[in-house]
Amino acid sequence: MSDANNRRGGPVLALRQITKEFPGVVALDKVNLTIGRNELIGLVGENGAGKSVLMKIMIGLIPPDGGTISLHGQPVTLRSPGDAIRNGIGMVFQEGSLVPNLSVMENLFLCHEAGFRRLGILSLRSMRAAARELLAQLKLGIDVDLPVAEISPAERQMVEIARLLWLTKLYGHDNPVLILDEPTTVLADKERETLFTILREIKSRASIVLISHRLQEILENCDRIVVLKDGKNVTEMASSDARLQKIEQLMVGHSFSTDRFHEDEQRRRGEKEILRVENLGKAGQFQPLSFSVGEGEIVGLVGLVGSGKEEVCKCLAGLEKADSGSIFLDGKRLPAGSPRGSVRAGIGHIPIDRRSEGLALMMNVAENVNLLVLNRLKAGGFLSPGREKKNARHWVEECQIKTPSISTLCANLSGGNQQKTVISKWLSSRVRLLILDHPTRGVDVGAKDEIYKLMRKLAREGIGMLVMCDTLEEDIGLANRMLIMKDGRLVQEIGSAPKTKPDPKDIISLIV
Amino acid sequence: MATMNGRSASLGRRLPAPVAMVGTWSRRTGILAQVLTLAIIVAGFALGTRGKYLSWANIQTILSLAAIPAILAIGLHLTVVLGGIDLSVQGVASLVAIFVGLLMKNQYNSHDVGLWIIPIALGIGGAAGLVNGVLNTRLRIPSFIATLGMSWVLYGMAVYINRAVNIQILDERIFKAINGMVLGIPNIAILALIVAIIMQFIQDRTQFGRYLYAIGGDEAVAQQGGVKVEKIKILVFTIAGIVYGLGAALLACRLGVATSRMGNSLLFPTITAVAVGGVALTGGLGGAKNAALGALIVTALNDGMVLMHVNPYAQQAVNGVVLIIAVALTLDRKKLGFIK
Amino acid sequence: MTAARNGAQQESKKRSIHPRQIPPVYITVALLFVVGLVFYLGNPNFITPYNLNTIISFSAILLMVALGQMCTILVGGIDLSVGGLVSFISVAFIVLIKPIGYLAYPACIIAGVLAGYINGFILTRVKIPSFIATLGTGGILTSLAYLVSPRPVNLAPDLYGVVDIVNGSLLKASNVLLIGLVVLAFFLVILRFTATGRNIFYIGSNIRMSWMSGINIVKTRTIAFMLSGLGAALVGITISSVRFGGDPVVGTSYVLNSIAAVVVGGTALTGGTGGVINTVFGSLFMSMMDNGMTVVGLDQYLQQAILGVMVIIGVTLTFDREKTPIVK
């Protein structure tokens, strides 16, 4: 930190003791971040370390609960992204924030076209000229009249950076702070090089904060690296002092209570193979890979965002179509890209967002639990209320869903119980393979424990599970085996038998 | 170099390839597809009517018949570009028509506002549009229900004031002016052209135009980029209402008669004109020139059917089919997810 | 980890009580009594056996088309073609009685279901939003009605027997009422006791989840529109029977009335909430409004304006804004 302060004029932007809490979780705990002039800083940390929350605070999307933000030594309050831009802070989001049907130049100057206005009319010629000049500074020579939807992702990013540079200059800041969130995920190798060349050049008139999970490129390009973990600062170092292993070690290393995941209940993989994936690939998402899941086995899919693991699960659940390869469940080939096909074959999917994808919130517990098995709950060709109640009650008990009654609306259940309702919906339909997408996200500690126990129980009954967890510890603790994915490739399989669980630090080096 | 507004975003579709290509191509080239369609229609009917279709008298008829739908379509398409829809054109037209009838020289009362009717009509239409906009933005009612409901309300008001009686407009000067011609081209068509040019210019060359397309393209991004979405939306609905007011006033004056039933069959052809003109229902694409051309195409089509003695009721069926096809081709399905 | 533009939505551990705890049905029933009282005060003739019978009969007819409309609204669409379908069936039915007698009943019913199927097809396969698609098909149906008979067409007196099914009165109650009850029972059974009916509610509540869970979205939505076609066809048949004649304009008011009945009854346009009972009370209410406004002497033309206002209010109250952050 002394490094930044010593630069001429002191830090451009200083965040001190920033705290942010959400119900049940402390996202940031007295975090400090200082950004000096002409610096390229890399911000790293695991998923959930607090990077995105910190960034959102920096650009005014959410307010901090505690701490101060000061710009050139003066405290500021940022109430909106607009405020941030006016103060010279801008962010390029991962999904991009350009309007697809507007042209490049229209996007560049959106809402700030006043300078090109004469008597209320926009001068397209001057807009075009200004746009070309702006882009030329970034070595970009595209046609500024093209709709943004028709240029490549790399070019789109450049346009966004150009817009930020222009806007901050408009507001009179000669050293703006630009935040780039995972800019290289959508780029090909050569485009990445170009990006960094441009960033190094921009450095002479801006400070840049780069969020990336690619530690290698952070090391190669950034001046300083800031590591966050569990919402706290861990360390900062000049990249010249940093070593890859040191950083990896610092990113993980939570305390490990062995019994949290009921590892004593972990069973061995059964004889039968439930899921077999052969050369499944999807262009742009993941390379052809193969693996299998056996009876009663919990397989963890481990990797950072962008590793392709989510897309693999989507293909298994039928939500997306793979380009190549096949999926076999119990030996039978699965139709591609059909949720119906996957569900019928016996694949269940607990989605990451249970409210918008897992439940019918305005319907009651019984209706949600019985959704998949209505055909089995009939009497004389029609749905039988008696059988429905029986089935619902059975599963409420099995999964220990705490609800006043089976007629309670799901919207009124707590997060953990909602999650258990989603799980029972699938269990009721006798799934063979259950895909769990961050099953304990947003769930309190007590319910988390119940879900782990439930998973062990399912394993005992022979159900195979493919799980993606919030933390590496959870993955290691729950899984029999882990499939490590990085940059769209399945790089390694690691066993995780009870009593011989691998160390998170070993895994980390594989996924970054 | 082609203009910015007719430009497409090739964001992928799930229609069979040849159909999808036609759709994408028609969006990309701005009005080229529409001009071609018009040419085909004209050629077809010229053959079918053995040249009668191309007579100067008929062309004048087409132009004068297309003028008012064109104006109404120019109003309506603004809301469609925004990403919503405006189904209130009937109600607004009925209400404005009644005021036009009662305030201009007529046989029931002594009012004779003459040309002052124009600002009055625009004002009424604008007020109705303003309410639409507020319902959509402040009360967060989806535009199709808000405008549908408003249409019923306005129509009810119109009929209440007028009790379904025909009011004859006796203002000779205005009647002659509207139904006259300059150099053989109907005045009303020239007026429609002027409105189209002005609106297109606003869309191309003002900040308001940029915001309009930004909201239609991606409302969330536009909001974050600083566009004052609520204000623009209200403004757009108001402008649409004003344009409807103009169209309704012209219609009443042209016919020389005002009744509350005047608006009854306006919605359908106006929406068809907008869709056929290439204004995508998903928003963000298409301009006043598209709407006006669309109206011209629909009018040319109906005129041809009349000349060829096609059953009038079958004509409406044809219009229905044309509407569905036009929407199907211009819709950007990637944007819609689950179609409602 | 994606930095979402719209801010973090962290899960709350606390129980979140959903804002709409009071079932909208209670509101409708309360309104029913309150407004009924107002009408009675305006004109005591409002509460006479004859008048009440009129109200209930009309509500039975409205209910048939409203139930179908409810199905389409529940699956997230809307059916603006019911007016055209009612008109078309009303003339087609009368015209068909001469050549094929009693077969006119099943023929018209099948025609209605077919029209609904086509609406569903255009929505699910051609993927055109239902409000445009049904606007289009409604126009086509209206013009078909005129094609069949541009003017009101009367049933020849010697054929009156054919429509006795509707005009008779078994069990001392008008058959119209009985038919309404049968249709109500039919919809109740379908919606509550069949998987497809339940799926309509699932789709209405959360279409993405329904898709991910393997529910056949195309089939369910198509069936919803077919049910709407069925309801409209039955209404066309009933009206023509009661009047002993068909009329190509008879259906126009049913679009507004059916949507109003559904929405005022408490079924949300966003789908999920609402049901058959809601629509029953909604139909009763609309019928009562229609009748009451005339009995009390309110201008006939103002009534339509009031209906429009009610639809807007009804939507405002039931629309689930959490579900659709961006209202188009």
Residue with tokens 């119940």: A450
How far is Cα B63 from Cα B81, in angstroms, rounded to an integer?
25
The pair phi, psi for residue A227, each rounded to 5°, is -110, 130
| Triad A185, A188, A193: Cα angle to 5° | 95
My answer on whether A305 and A156 are in the same domain is: no
pLDDT range class, residue A356, cuts 50, 70, 90: confident
Tell me the range of B227-241, B281-295, C260-274 where mean pLDDT is highest: B227-241
Asked if residue B82 lies in contact with residue B203, where contact means CB atoms within 8 angstroms, the answer is no
Which residues fall within 8 angstroms of residue A243, CB to CB, at 6 or more apart?
none
User: Per the domain annotation, does A192 fall within a domain?
Assistant: yes
Please check the confidence at residue A375 and state whether its pLDDT lies above 60. Answer: yes
What are the sequence ranges of the domains in chain C?
59-250
| Triad B200, B205, B208: Cα angle to 5° | 90
pLDDT for res C95 = 92
Asked if residue B248 lies in contact with residue B76, where contact means CB atoms within 8 angstroms, the answer is no
My answer on whether A235 and A264 are in the same domain is: no
How far is Cα A355 from Cα A363, in angstroms, rounded to an integer?
12
My answer on whether A230 and A281 are in the same domain is: no
Chain B interface, best mutation among A94, A101, A103, A150, by max B CB count within 10 A:
A101
Which neighbouring-strand residues pair with B182? B185
pLDDT in tens, C132-155: 889 889 989 998 999 898 889 888
Which neighbouring-strand residues pair with B185? B182
Asked if residue A98 lies in contact with residue B221, where contact means CB atoms within 8 angstroms, the answer is yes
Helix, strand and coil in chain B, % to nearest 5 = 75, 5, 25
Instruction: Report CA torsion sign: B88, B90, B95, B99.
Output: positive
pLDDT in tens, A281-312: 998 888 899 999 999 899 999 887 778 888 99
Which residues fall within 8 angstroms of residue B240, CB to CB, at 6 or more apart?
B75, B76, B78, B79, B86, B129, B132
Residue from the list B139, B144, B324 with its beta carbon closest to the beta carbon of C122: B324
Angle between helical axes of C24-42 and C300-318 (0-180°, round to 10): 160
Asked if residue A440 lies in contact with residue A474, where contact means CB atoms within 8 angstroms, the answer is yes
Is residue B175 exposed (0-12), middle (13-18) or buried (19+ Cβ within 10 Å)?
A: middle
CB < 8 Å & 24+ apart, contacts of A119-128: A120/B206, A121/B205, A121/B206, A122/B205, A122/B206, A122/B207, A122/B210, A124/B204, A124/B205
User: Per the domain annotation, does B6 fall within a domain?
Assistant: no
Asked if residue A443 lies in contact with residue A451, where contact means CB atoms within 8 angstroms, the answer is yes
Please check the confidence at residue B202 and state whether its pLDDT lies above 90. Answer: yes
The better pLDDT of the pair A201, A263 is held by A201
Residue with tokens 């008298």: B57
Residue type, A184: T
How far is Cα A433 from Cα A343, in angstroms, rounded to an integer?
10
Range of lowest pLDDT (B92-96, C78-82, C193-197, C322-326) = C322-326
pLDDT for res B3 = 24
Mean pLDDT of B284-289: 89
The better pLDDT of the pair B230, C294 is held by B230
Asked if residue B294 lies in contact with residue B33, where contact means CB atoms within 8 angstroms, the answer is no
State what percent of residues in chain A have pLDDT above 90.
Answer: 22
Please check the confidence at residue C70 and state whether its pLDDT lies above 90. Answer: yes
How far is Cα A183 from Cα A167, in angstroms, rounded to an integer?
20
Whether C136 has its CB under 8 Å from any CB of chain B: the answer is yes
Q: Which of B119, B131, B118 is nearest to B91 (CA)?
A: B131
pLDDT range class, residue B335, cuts 50, 70, 90: low
My answer on whether A378 and A323 are in the same domain is: no
pLDDT range class, residue A473, cuts 50, 70, 90: confident
Is residue C17 exposed (0-12), middle (13-18) or buried (19+ Cβ within 10 Å)?
A: exposed
Which neighbouring-strand residues pair with A278? A326
User: Per the domain annotation, does B278 fall within a domain?
Assistant: yes
Mean pLDDT of chain C: 83
User: Per the domain annotation, does B66 fall within a domain?
Assistant: yes
Task: Give pTM, 2 decimals.
Answer: 0.78
The better pLDDT of the pair A338, A510 is held by A338
CATH code of the domain in which B167 resides: 1.10.3470
Please check the confidence at residue A511 and state whether its pLDDT lies above 90. Answer: no
Range of lowest pLDDT (A158-162, B135-139, B169-173) = B169-173
Residue type, A28: L
Please check the confidence at residue A350 and state whether its pLDDT lies above 90. Answer: yes
Residue from the list C18, C198, C211 with its beta carbon closest to the beta carbon of A374: C198
Which residues fall within 8 angstroms of residue A231, CB to CB, at 6 or more apart?
A26, A27, A28, A29, A31, A49, A50, A53
How far is Cα B191 from Cα B74, in angstroms, rounded to an integer?
13
H helix count then E strand count, chain A? 17, 24
Please check the confidence at residue B18 and state whether its pLDDT lies above 70. Answer: no
Q: Which of A388, A371, A470, A474 is nearest to A423 (CA)?
A: A371
Range of lowest pLDDT (A198-202, B125-129, C310-314) = C310-314
User: Per the domain annotation, does A359 fall within a domain?
Assistant: no
pLDDT in tens, A237-285: 887 777 776 776 676 655 445 567 787 778 888 888 889 999 899 988 8
- Put the strands of the sheet holding A74-75 in their side by side order: A25-35, A13-22, A66-71, A74-75
Whether C315 has its CB under 8 Å from any CB of chain B: the answer is yes
Which residues fall within 8 angstroms of residue C308, CB to CB, at 6 or more apart?
B149, B150, B151, B152, B153, B154, B155, B156, C256
My answer on whether A272 and A239 are in the same domain is: no
DSSP string over C21-61: -S-HHHHHHHHHHHHHHHHHHH-GGGGSHHHHHHHHHHHHH
Please check the confidence at residue A359 and state whether its pLDDT lies above 50. Answer: yes
pLDDT for res C1 = 34
pLDDT for res A253 = 55
User: Per the domain annotation, does A357 fall within a domain?
Assistant: no
Question: Domain end: A251, A283, A301, which one?
Answer: A251
Please check the confidence at residue A1 and state whether its pLDDT lies above 70. Answer: no
Provide the chain A residues 71-90 that lie in CB contact (below 8 A) with chain C: none
How far is Cα A301 from Cα A324, in angstroms, rounded to an integer?
20
pLDDT for res C155 = 84
pLDDT in tens, A100-140: 888 999 999 998 888 888 888 888 888 999 999 989 888 88
Angle between helical axes of C217-243 and C195-205 (0-180°, round to 10): 110
Number of C-beta neighbours around residue B107 at 10 A: 10
| Residue B53: DSSP 8-state | G
Mean pLDDT of chain A: 85
User: Distance (Å) from the C-alpha of residue C323 to the closest C-alpha of chain A?
Assistant: 9
pLDDT for res A5 = 45
Q: Report the domain count for chain A.
A: 3
pLDDT for res B28 = 54
My answer on whether A133 and A274 are in the same domain is: no
Q: Which residues of C touch A351 (CB under 8 A)?
A: 209, 212
Q: Which residues of C188-219 are buried (b: 16+ CB within 10 A; e: fewer)?
A: bebbebbbbbbbbbbbbbbbbbbbbbbbbbee
CA distances to A342, A349, A456, A501, B21 from A463, in Å: 15, 13, 10, 22, 46
Taking only Cα atoms into account, the Rg of chain C, rounded to an integer number of angstroms, comes to 21
CA distances to B103, B115, B172 from B258, in Å: 11, 16, 15
Contact (CB<8Å) C3/A317: no
For residue B27, give its domain range: 17-40+52-312+320-336
User: Per the domain annotation, does B9 fall within a domain?
Assistant: no
DSSP string over A265-292: G-----SSEEEEEEEEEETTTEEEEEEE
Tell me the range of A465-474, B188-197, C260-269 where mean pLDDT is highest: B188-197
Torsion, Cα of C289, C292, C293, C296 (10° steps): -160
User: Per the domain annotation, does B3 fall within a domain?
Assistant: no
E strands within A57-150?
66-71, 74-75, 89-92, 117-118, 121-122
Q: Which of B104, B249, B117 is nearest to B167 (CA)?
A: B104
User: Per the domain annotation, does A279 fall within a domain?
Assistant: yes
Please check the confidence at residue A72 and state whether its pLDDT lies above 50. Answer: yes
pLDDT for res A392 = 94
pLDDT in tens, A203-235: 888 999 998 877 788 888 888 888 888 778 777
Contact (CB<8Å) C206/A361: yes
Please check the confidence at residue C268 and state whether its pLDDT lies above 50. Answer: yes
Mean pLDDT of C56-82: 93
Number of C-beta neighbours around residue B40 at 10 A: 11
For residue A102, give its domain range: 2-251
My answer on whether A105 and A58 are in the same domain is: yes
pLDDT for res C196 = 94
Asked if residue B141 lies in contact with residue B135, where contact means CB atoms within 8 angstroms, the answer is yes
Mean pLDDT of C28-34: 79
Q: Which tokens go with A163?
A: 């817009």
User: Per the domain annotation, does B88 fall within a domain?
Assistant: yes
pLDDT for res C6 = 34
User: Distance (Å) from the C-alpha of residue A308 to the closest C-alpha of chain B?
Assistant: 22
Q: Which of C318, C326, C180, C158 is nearest to C244 (CA)?
A: C158
Name chain B's partners: 3 or more CB pairs within 8 A. Answer: A, C
pLDDT for res B196 = 95
CATH code of the domain in which A17 resides: 3.40.50.300
Please check the confidence at residue B27 and state whether its pLDDT lies above 70. Answer: no
User: Per the domain annotation, does B244 fall within a domain?
Assistant: yes
Please check the confidence at residue A343 and state whether its pLDDT lies above 80. Answer: yes
My answer on whether A494 and A421 are in the same domain is: no
Contact (CB<8Å) B224/A112: no
Instruction: Give the three-class secondary structure for A441.
Output: coil
pLDDT in tens, A146-197: 888 888 888 888 899 999 999 988 888 888 999 998 888 777 778 888 888 8
Number of C-beta neighbours around residue B77 at 10 A: 32
Mean pLDDT of B307-313: 83
CA A293 from centre of chain: 25
pLDDT in tens, A308-331: 888 999 999 999 998 999 999 988
E strands within A358-480?
378-379, 382-383, 433-437, 464-468
State what percent of residues in chain B have pLDDT above 90.
Answer: 34
CA distances to A264, C95, C110, C137, C163 from C148, in Å: 78, 8, 17, 16, 20
Residue type, C23: P
User: Per the domain annotation, does B105 fall within a domain?
Assistant: yes
**What are the helix (H) ranges across A109-171?**
124-137, 153-170
**Residue of chain C whose alpha carbon sits nearest to that of B88:** C308
Write the ipTM: 0.81
Asked if residue A180 lies in contact with residue A209, where contact means CB atoms within 8 angstroms, the answer is yes
pLDDT range class, residue B19, cuts 50, 70, 90: low
Mean pLDDT of chain B: 83
The better pLDDT of the pair B185, C319 is held by B185
Provide the chain C residues 219-248 that lie in CB contact (below 8 A) with chain B: none
pLDDT in tens, A478-508: 888 999 998 888 888 888 887 777 777 777 7
Q: Which residues of B152-174 are buried (b: 16+ CB within 10 A; e: fewer)?
A: bbbbbbbbbebeeeebebebeeb
Residue from the list A82, A100, A112 with its beta carbon closest to the beta carbon of B217: A100
My answer on whether A246 and A266 are in the same domain is: no
Please check the confidence at residue B1 and state whether its pLDDT lies above 80. Answer: no
Q: Which residues of C touch B159 (CB under 8 A)?
A: 301, 304
How far is Cα A91 from Cα A52, in angstroms, rounded to an integer?
11
How far is Cα B335 from Cα B337, in angstroms, rounded to an integer?
6
Contact (CB<8Å) C319/B141: yes
Residue from the list B224, B267, B312 with its beta carbon closest to the beta carbon of C5: B224
Q: Report the domain count for chain B.
A: 1
My answer on whether A313 and A447 are in the same domain is: yes
Please check the confidence at residue B288 and state whether its pLDDT lies above 90. Answer: yes
User: Distance (Å) from the C-alpha of residue C175 to the closest C-alpha of chain B?
Assistant: 33
User: Per the domain annotation, does A424 fall within a domain?
Assistant: yes
